[in-house]
């Protein structure tokens, strides 16, 4: 049963989609991009699938959207018109194929065609003569646009032979013509078209045919709805039949024996091939080839069960603003960043977007909890285009620029730059402080992200790509490739290293967080004592202080770090990316009860590796020499620790002797 909150969300989505469908399909004046509309429609479909009681007969998900304009003559279709259901992932294509197999009783082959982003047209020929061209409308009643379709040179007024038939196709405006048309309209002070599809629709839904005649319109036909001759048995035969009658058919159609061929065709046209044709594409269409199987599969209330539109990755999507934080730049300038519900846009998953400055947030009225439209500027940098205020929840919160931030060092003071929209830290050196903090987190003793050195961290912060721990795990290969010095191989290698670092032992994570007084040994003690981060976060200062080897100073520092809201929020975001591994409790071994100090450069072991061996053998690895030290493992350039051990008469051993003690 749907909750009150879900029911209200579905109602808002229905009303919003009805409005935008009318703007798009009827008035040719869209206020949302196709992909943003698809995202909202998809959310409503998912809610209706989960809660069938939310389905309404008048919902845009249950009917063909469109109606005839009052100034054009209405015509009733002899053959009902349909629209395609959409798919956005390989899994949805596989599910479609499974349904086809189940209903038809056998595996099917598919005809693959390009999905041209234009206006559907239904043409009727009587004894070879064009007598009617109509829009789809609501699927039952459309508009008579014959006078405008006759101006398109590719659409024949007379067929190659005197056949009577009804055919379906797409009228489009060329991409090059669209650019030229919008330039002319802009120069003339007229409103520009949002996209080629609406330019085509606006051109053929006019009373004056000279408007359509003056524009670079084209057409392709792809389906025979009715014919006085023998109906083709296969979709490929249908296209051949149309072509032999003298009708324009898109040449890029293909046959597919397997889903692998479907995916290959989609990948090809999603990529560079898309730029080789002079018409707008938004996906491909796959149709069961056999007409007999098509008739067996039939239709739903609005779409054929034998065909599906497989859309390209959206260029605009909807998502939710979960929180807003700050990032600091090289000059101390502070930039707000929106943390978003992760969403795929233009082929990559995005979880954050820059909000530029306080004025940008105010002008767009962006609030925490808002549903927003997101796109990638130049296909790389995520940006929020607009807020869908109609979907704003009552819990949405306005965000104000803080007066202080821990990013700023000193007392954390923030000031607005006089005469500008920018804010900056009052204390200088904040940028380098952040570089050190994140370099430590990614460094060898903590998460050990190979390739994420200090200069790379500095570059990423300077470019506004990271500001806190979690941002490292939201970097995409596309963002890295756009940076100076990052070619494909280097970007791929760093992306792989980041992915590998998502599995991290608890002690390494604690080291990386930069908690005061928590070094390798203390992190190990905490990790083995509490086992999980959840247990550690819940520990009181007193409980921490009573742990052998921790004490009141460290106990207080750890407890206060986890209580601080400025630490809790980024930690919660970080934990969405990590799989934290438990550390086994110290074993009783050859070094149980002994305290060992590692100093100097050892022949084969790093200091971190040697200290890990000490702990695994049941001993304690200490960073300083004292009377409690059991022995010192010394390598080259041992320095002051060697001297202190000599003065206190503490045994000093080589790496080889150390390994012998361990039984290695």
Architecture of the structural domain at 595-661: 3-Layer(aba) Sandwich (3.40)
User: Is 136 part of any known ligand binding site?
Assistant: yes
3-state SS assignment for residue 599 = strand
Is 260 assigned to a binding site? Answer: no
Calculate the average pLDDT of the chain: 87
Check whether 33 has a pLDDT greater than 80. no
Residue 213 has pLDDT above 50, yes or no: yes
Cα diameter, the chain: 112
User: Number of C-alpha atoms within 13 angstroms, CB side, residue 206?
Assistant: 19
117 is in an annotated binding site: no
Question: What single-letter DSSP state applies at residue 224?
Answer: E
pLDDT exceeds cutoff 80 at 234: yes
Q: Which CATH architecture best describes the domain 74-311? A: 2-Layer Sandwich (3.30)
Q: What is the pLDDT of residue 344?
A: 78
Per residue in 118-138, pLDDT (tens digit) is 889 999 999 999 999 999 888
Among residues 626, 630, 632, 621, which one has the least CA distance to residue 648?
626
At residue 132, the pLDDT reads 95
Q: What is the DSSP letter of 370?
A: -
> Residue 53, annotated ligand binder?
no
Q: CB neighbours of 307 closer than 8 A, spacing ≥ 6?
A: 84, 285, 286, 287, 288
d(CA 14, CA 506): 46
Residue 268 annotated as binding? Answer: no
What is the pLDDT, as a whole number, of residue 277?
92
Where do you find CATH 3.40.50.10190 in the chain? 595-661
CATH superfamily of 4-54: Helix hairpin bin (1.10.287.610)
* Residue 69 predicted with pLDDT over 50: no
What is the number of other CB atoms lying within 10 angstroms of the CB of residue 652?
A: 18
Using pLDDT thresholds of 50, 70 and 90, give the confidence band for residue 90. Answer: very high
Is 540 annotated in some ligand binding site? Answer: no
3-state secondary structure of 542: helix
Q: What are phi and psi of 269, to 5 degrees?
A: -85, -15
pLDDT digits (tens, 9 = 90+) for 135-151: 988 888 999 999 889 88
Q: C-alpha distances in angstroms, 57 versus 51, 79, 139?
A: 15, 22, 15
38 carries a ligand binding annotation = yes
Looking at residue 28, its pLDDT comes to 55
**pLDDT beyond 70 at 29:** no
For residue 279, say whether it is annotated as part of any ligand binding site. no
CA distances from 218 to 34, 171, 402, 503 (A): 21, 6, 55, 54
Rounded mean pLDDT, 253-269: 95
* Burial per residue of 493-502, b for 16 or more beta-carbon CB atoms within 10 angstroms, e otherwise: ebbebbeebe
311 carries a ligand binding annotation = yes
pLDDT value at 67 more than 60:
no
Rounded to an integer, the average pLDDT of 187-195 is 76
Average pLDDT rounded to a whole number, residues 530-535:
92
Q: What pLDDT sits at residue 252? A: 95
Report the pLDDT value the prediction gives residue 424, as an integer from 0 to 100: 87
Q: What is the pLDDT of residue 70?
A: 55
* Inter-residue contact 84 to 38 (CB < 8 Å): no
pLDDT over 50 at 519, yes or no = yes
Residue linked to tokens 């009377």 = 627
Please tell me the class of the 504-581 domain: mainly alpha
As given in the structure block, the two tokens for residue 90 are 């390989």
Report the 10 Å Cβ neighbour count for 124: 21
Which SS3 state, helix, strand or coil, does residue 604 take?
coil
203 known member of a binding site = no
Q: What confidence tier does 289 reach under pLDDT thresholds 50, 70, 90?
A: very high
Boundaries of CATH 1.10.150.20 in the chain?
504-581
Q: Is 408 annotated as a binding residue?
A: yes
Q: Which regions of the chain carry the CATH code 2.40.50.140?
A: 316-491
Instruction: Flag the least confident range among 26-35, 490-499, 577-586.
Output: 26-35
Span 96-105, average pLDDT? 94
> 193 pLDDT exceeds 80?
no
DSSP tag of 51: -
Which ranges of 443-550 would DSSP assign to H, the alpha helix? 454-462, 477-481, 488-500, 506-512, 520-530, 533-538, 541-545
Q: Please name which of 133, 151, 83, 463 lies closest in space to residue 309, comparing C-alpha atoms.
A: 83
Question: Is 35 marked as binding a ligand?
Answer: yes
pTM value surpassing 0.85: no
In CATH terms, is domain 316-491 a member of 2.40.50.140? yes
**What is the per-residue pLDDT for 664?**
63
Q: Region 6-10: what's the mean pLDDT? A: 83
SS3 196: helix
Which of 121, 232, 236 lies closest to 168 in space, CA to CA? 121
DSSP 128: T
| Residues in Cβ contact with 109 at an 8 Å cutoff, skipping those fewer than 6 apart | 255, 256, 257, 288, 289, 290
Task: Give the pLDDT band (50/70/90) at residue 401.
Answer: very high
Beta partners for residue 352, in sequence order: 339
Please tell me the distance from the alpha carbon of residue 442 to that of residue 139, in angstroms, as a whole number: 58
Does the structure show a pLDDT above 90 at 346? no
pLDDT band at 24 (very low <50, low <70, confident <90, very high): low
Of 4, 11, 74, 115, the active-site residue reads 115
pLDDT of residue 34 exceeding 80: no
Residue with structure tokens 């008739």?
295
Percent of the chain at pLDDT > 70 equals 95
Average pLDDT over residues 607-629: 86
Q: What is the pLDDT of residue 68?
A: 45
Instruction: Tell me if 621 sits within 8 A of 507, measured CB to CB.
Output: no
- Where are the CATH 1.10.287.610 domain residues in the chain? 4-54
Residue 237 to residue 269: CA distance in whole angstroms? 23
Has 444 been annotated as catalytic? Answer: no
Q: Is 379 annotated as a binding residue?
A: no
Q: Please answer whether residues 147 and 159 qualify as being in contact, where contact means their C-beta atoms are separated by less than 8 angstroms.
A: no
pLDDT in tens, 542-583: 999 998 888 899 999 999 999 988 889 889 999 999 999 988
């Amino acid at each position: 049963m749907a909750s009150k909150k879900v029911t209200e969300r579905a109602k808002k989505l229905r009303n919003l989609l009805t409005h935008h469908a009318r703007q798009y399909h009827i008035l040719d004046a869209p206020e949302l991009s196709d992909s943003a509309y698809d995202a909202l429609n998809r959310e409503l479909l998912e809610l209706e699938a989960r809660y069938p009681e939310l389905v309404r007969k008048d919902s845009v998900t249950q009917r063909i959207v469109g109606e005839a304009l009052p100034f054009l003559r209405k015509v009733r279709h002899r053959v009902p018109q349909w629209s395609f259901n959409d798919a956005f992932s390989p899994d949805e294509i596989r599910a479609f194929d499974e349904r086809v197999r189940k209903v038809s009783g056998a595996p099917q082959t598919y005809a693959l065609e390009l999905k041209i982003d234009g206006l559907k047209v239904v043409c009727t020929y009587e004894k070879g003569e064009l007598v009617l061209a109509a829009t789809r409308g609501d699927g039952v009643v459309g508009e008579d646009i014959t006078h405008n379709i006759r101006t398109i040179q590719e659409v024949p007024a007379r067929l190659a032979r005197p056949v009577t038939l009804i055919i379906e196709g797409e009228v489009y405006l060329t991409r090059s013509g669209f650019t030229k048309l919008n330039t002319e309209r802009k120069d003339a002070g007229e409103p520009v078209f949002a996209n080629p599809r609406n330019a085509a629709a606006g051109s053929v839904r006019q009373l004056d045919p000279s408007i359509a005649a003056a524009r670079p319109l084209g057409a392709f036909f792809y389906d025979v709805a009715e014919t006085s001759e023998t109906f083709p048995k296969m979709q490929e035969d249908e296209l051949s039949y149309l072509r032999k009658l003298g009708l324009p058919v898109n040449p890029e159609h293909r046959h597919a024996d397997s889903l692998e061929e479907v995916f290959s065709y989609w990948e090809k046209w999603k990529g560079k091939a898309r730029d080789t044709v002079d018409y707008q594409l938004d996906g491909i269409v796959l149709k069961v080839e056999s007409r007999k199987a098509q008739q067996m599969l039939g239709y739903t209330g609005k779409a054929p069960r034998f065909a599906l539109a497989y859309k390209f990755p959206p260029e605009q999507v909807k998502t939710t603003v979960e929180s807003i934080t700050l990032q600091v730049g090289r000059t101390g300038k502070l930039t707000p960043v929106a943390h978003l519900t992760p969403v795929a846009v233009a082929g990559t998953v995005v979880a954050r977007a820059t909000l530029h400055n306080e004025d940008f947030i105010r002008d767009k009225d962006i609030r925490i909890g808002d549903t927003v439209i997101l796109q990638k500027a130049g296909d790389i940098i995520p940006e929020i285009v607009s807020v869908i205020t109609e979907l704003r929840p009552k819990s949405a919160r306005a965000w104000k620029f803080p007066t202080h931030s821990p990013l700023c060092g000193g007392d954390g003071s923030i000031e607005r730059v006089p005469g500008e929209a920018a804010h900056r830290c009052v204390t200088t050196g904040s940028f380098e402080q952040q570089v050190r903090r994140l370099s430590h987190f990614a460094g060898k003793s903590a998460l050990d992200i190979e390739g994420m050195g200090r200069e790379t961290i500095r570059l990423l912060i300077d470019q506004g790509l990271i500001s806190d721990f979690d941002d490292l795990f939201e970097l995409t290969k596309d963002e890295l490739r756009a940076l100076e010095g990052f070619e494909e191989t280097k970007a791929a290698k760093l992306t792989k290293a980041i992915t590998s670092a998502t599995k991290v032992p608890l002690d390494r994570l604690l080291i990386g967080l930069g908690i005061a007084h928590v070094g390798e040994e203390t992190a190990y003690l905490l990790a083995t004592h509490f086992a999980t981060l959840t247990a550690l976060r819940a520990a009181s200062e007193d409980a921490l202080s009573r742990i052998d080897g921790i004490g009141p100073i460290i106990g207080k520092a750890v407890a206060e770090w986890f209580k601080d809201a400025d630490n809790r929020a980024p930690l919660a975001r970080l934990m969405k990316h990590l799989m934290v591994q438990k550390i086994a409790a110290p074993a009783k071994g050859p070094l149980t009860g002994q305290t060992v100090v590692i100093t100097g450069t050892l022949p084969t072991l790093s200091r971190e590796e040697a200290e890990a061996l000490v702990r695994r053998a049941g001993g304690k690895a200490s960073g300083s020499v004292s009377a409690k030290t059991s022995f010192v493992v010394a390598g080259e350039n041992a320095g002051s620790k060697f001297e202190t051990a000599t003065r206190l008469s503490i045994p000093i051993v080589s790496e080889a002797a150390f390994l012998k003690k361990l039984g290695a």
